[in-house]
Chain A
Amino acid sequence: MNIRIALADDPALGAGNVLMKLREHGAAADRPGITFDVSVDGHPAWAPLSFGELCDRVAARAAWLHQQGIKPRDPVAVYATSAADCLLTFMALNWVGAIPALMNGNMPGETAVEYIRRLRATAVLTDAAHRSLLAGRDLGGPVVADVAEAGTGNPAQAPGYYRYADDDPIAITHSSGTTRMPAAVVHSHASLFAATRQLRLAGPRAHGTERILSALPAAHTAGVLTLHQALCRGSELLFLSAQGGPFERSGAVILDAIERWHPTAVYGFAVTWAELARFDLAARDLSSVSVWFNTGDCAHETHVRRLVAVGSHATYTRAGLVRAPGSRFIDGIGSTEMGYSGFRVSHHAGSDRYGRCVGKPHIFAEVALLDLGTGEEVPTGQVGHVGLKSPTLALGYWNDSVNTYRYRYCGYYLTGDLMYRDSDGYYYHVDRAADSVDLGGGNWLYTAMSEERILVRCPDVRDCTVVAGMAEGTVVTDVLLLLDATADPDADRTEAVKEALGGPAAATLRRIVAVPDDDIVVGPTGKVRKFLMRQRHLAGVGTP
């Protein structure tokens, strides 16, 4: 029996014990482990850690944590920039039964102080830069220690691996924090592994995931899922720290990394594809890439089309399996709370299913588009609130039962998204419910769908944000454009934007402004903070 099936059939395997179970099922020490873009414990950056070396580095940390008195169920925050610090410490905390609370290194210090206090953390492990942000602040009493010191433990002194049950908490990750204080979401041993088991172990072997370059944030759900999937499949994984660094420079970092490391797959959030849109991709050597994998928000057609035009993929011809030009872009939509993408759609050079199509639900997901007034499902073609039943769903919000239960509805988890379904069963994301605006008379302004349409109609616009809401008793809409370097900032795009918005929404258009990058407020993962943008642009304070 192959190891994938042995793992798929092991009911005790879950997100908390991947390393231990791989060893138990005979994973060889020279199997791929992980590669980082930073050095760790004296191991140089870019040099692969084999599976055996990875186990050794994690065991060293488990020994150190044990020696420091960290116990099962202790919530321990990890606040650092390096993907190695984040992921190795994560696995070590799982080893000793503690609950890793991973924090994005981009989280501002003020927010981090409050976030840690609300966690009621036992300890906080940080790098020097982040430790200075917390110095002298009231964190509620946790021990604060140097995350690098954890690597000095003696692997031989690691305690026995903690025994997990399915509903044991094994990770706290946070949302992007676009509307409020990032929400601390707690995942279970079973929930954070359900998709990996069904899709990556029991599902068909996928072409193109032999060498994965991850530009996902390590501290988020998607980062942990990618780590587990790569380890279980035996894929090589290069994990970039901080999504490739400051966003406005990350596109160059990621392209350089692709040319240096030759991945077959590149994983990222929407910000990565928007940043890659700054470059002439045809001028770069991206031939190794078969698959671009997106999760979080769904990606924009204009960004996807540029990516699928480059790279190469395996296909059958009369001559057998060959490589052909062009790659695939796997899109979906997921969130911290959903625990995995709920949907999947595959784009390639010849495909034409866009318009924010997120595809069909994954085999493990049950989706209903609901009318929250009646509790009934809306008819085909009509927009409803996404209700999700899935084994991947997080347990809830850490130390926050109020919000844990607020988003449960008729047995579903309300994701906060609005979608419609076509007659072929494909789902289309129109907006976040919180960002959409009721225009009266049955008309709505959907900001995300409007952005999609503007990008399609204005090819020299690299990215855009539609900000709409009430100002002085009336709905107004501002369209903020990030232009290509070669675009004319004074060009009149009014007609194209009005056409994209459509009649009733177009009537609310107040202004279209080309803005510099730093005028768009983003959260730690690069997601636009529309809540703040609305405040800034609609309340009359600040001018673009």
Chain B
Amino acid sequence: MFDSIREFIINSLREMNYDVEDIGDNTELGPRGADVESVALAELAIRVEDEYGVKFGEDEAEELSSLTVGEFCATVADRLAVAKAAGE
């Protein structure tokens, strides 16, 4: 699951015209790494929501920015697991 989420995130960033060549699990989404702008972080959150049904509030951009790609994938996977457990 983690790998497919990462692939989805990297593909999304590529579609938003970010250079993803050097982006890995340890790359921060914020200015220390991929330098994803706030509007693009919001777009990324919407895409993840559309794909996985995991909701990120629009006020979470500050938190998302400080995460690495790996941490973001883990957060999505965690929320997905919680949502599944709640649905069972």
Contacts and interface: CB of A to CB of B under 8 A. Distances in A.
Interface of A: 2, 4-5, 8, 199, 201-207, 314-316, 320-321, 344-346, 359-360, 362-363
Contacts of B37: 204-207
Contacts of B38: 203-207
Interface stretch (B2-10, B28-36, B74-82): B28-36
From A203, A345, A360, residue with most partner B Cβ within 10 Å: A203
A363 B62 CA distance: 7
A314 B16 CA distance: 13
Nearest to A345: B59
A346 B58 contact: yes
B39 A363 contact: no
Contacts of B68: none
Contacts of A314: 39
From B32, B36, B58, B62, residue with most partner A Cβ within 10 Å: B62
B38 to A, nearest CB: 4
Interface residues of B, number: 23
A316 to B, nearest CB: 4
A316 B31 contact: no
Contacts of A206: 37-38
Contacts of B30: 202-204
A2 B62 CA distance: 19
Contacts of B36: 204
Contacts of A321: 16-17, 39
Nearest to A348: B58
Nearest to B17: A320
Chain A interface helix/strand/loop/mixed: mixed
A6 to B, nearest CB: 11
A204 B41 contact: yes
A202 B57 CA distance: 20
B61 interface: yes
Listed from nearest, the 9 A-B pairs whose CB atoms lie closest are: A204-B65, A316-B43, A207-B39, A204-B38, A205-B37, A206-B38, A363-B62, A314-B39, A203-B65
A199 B62 contact: yes
A125 to B, nearest CB: 38
A4 B31 contact: yes
21 contacts: A5-B31, A5-B32, A201-B31, A203-B61, A203-B62, A204-B38, A204-B41, A205-B35, A205-B37, A207-B39, A314-B39, A315-B39, A316-B16, A316-B43, A321-B17, A321-B39, A344-B59, A344-B62, A359-B59, A360-B57, A363-B62
B64 to A, nearest CB: 8
Contacts of B43: 315-316
A202 B59 contact: no
Given A4-B31, A202-B65, A204-B65, 11 more contacts: A202-B32, A204-B36, A204-B61, A205-B35, A205-B37, A315-B39, A315-B43, A316-B16, A346-B58, A359-B59, A360-B57
Interface string B38-63: 11110100000000000001110111
A363 B59 CA distance: 11
A314 B38 CA distance: 11
B45 to A, nearest CB: 11
Contact of B39 (A8, A316, A345): A316
Nearest to A344: B59
A2 B34 CA distance: 12
Contacts of A346: 58-59
From A199, A201, A360, residue with most partner B Cβ within 10 Å: A360
A8 B59 CA distance: 22
Nearest to A2: B31
B17 A204 contact: no
Given A2-B35, A205-B31, A206-B37, A362 B62 contact: yes
A447 to B, nearest CB: 27
Contacts of A315: 39, 43
A33 B9 CA distance: 37
A4 B31 CA distance: 8
From B35, B39, B61, B64, residue with most partner A Cβ within 10 Å: B39
Contact of B63 (A2, A359, A363): A363
Contacts of B61: 203-204
B31 A202 contact: yes
B27 interface: no
B66 A202 contact: yes
A315 B66 CA distance: 22
Nearest to A206: B38
A205 B65 CA distance: 9
A521 B57 CA distance: 39
From A2, A204, A345, residue with most partner B Cβ within 10 Å: A204
Nearest to A314: B39
B79 to A, nearest CB: 15
Contacts of A316: 16, 39-40, 43
